[in-house]
Amino acid sequence: MTGGSTGEAADGATDAGQGAAAEPEVASVLGYEQARDELIEVVRSLEAGGTTLEESLALWERGEELAKVCRHWLEGARARLDAALAEESGES
């Protein structure tokens, strides 16, 4: 949903490996902050209880997806920082 962020998601997507085929698509749609905020709401709903087993399982599965998206964004950010630091140290 954020125009500038989709390129960043695609950069890290190649490093994700074949086990996370749907992850880059989800990450290109959800930014880090959006995924984090939704994950917080999922956790709050699960902690509050009052949901059926099916609803709880669906929330848990969504939470797992959101956690993967967050991890994807954080790994991409770490790679970019590492690259910038390596470039900086190479120039010194």
Q: What is the CATH number of the domain that holds 67?
A: 1.10.287
pLDDT digits (tens, 9 = 90+) for 8-18: 433 333 333 33
The domain containing residue 83 runs over which residues?
Answer: 25-91
Domain count, the chain: 1
Q: Is residue 55 part of a domain?
A: yes
Name 78's Cβ contacts closer than 8 Å, sequence gap at least 6. none
- Percent of the chain whose pLDDT exceeds 90: 62
pLDDT for 89 equals: 86
Backbone angles phi, psi at 82, to 5 degrees: -60, -40
- Whether the per-residue pLDDT at 71 is higher than 80: the answer is yes
pLDDT for 83 equals: 96
pLDDT for 74 equals: 96
Name 75's Cβ contacts closer than 8 Å, sequence gap at least 6. 12, 15
Q: Give mean pLDDT, residues 22-51.
A: 87
Q: Is residue 13 part of a domain?
A: no
Q: Is residue 34 part of a domain?
A: yes
Q: Give mean pLDDT, residues 15-27.
A: 46
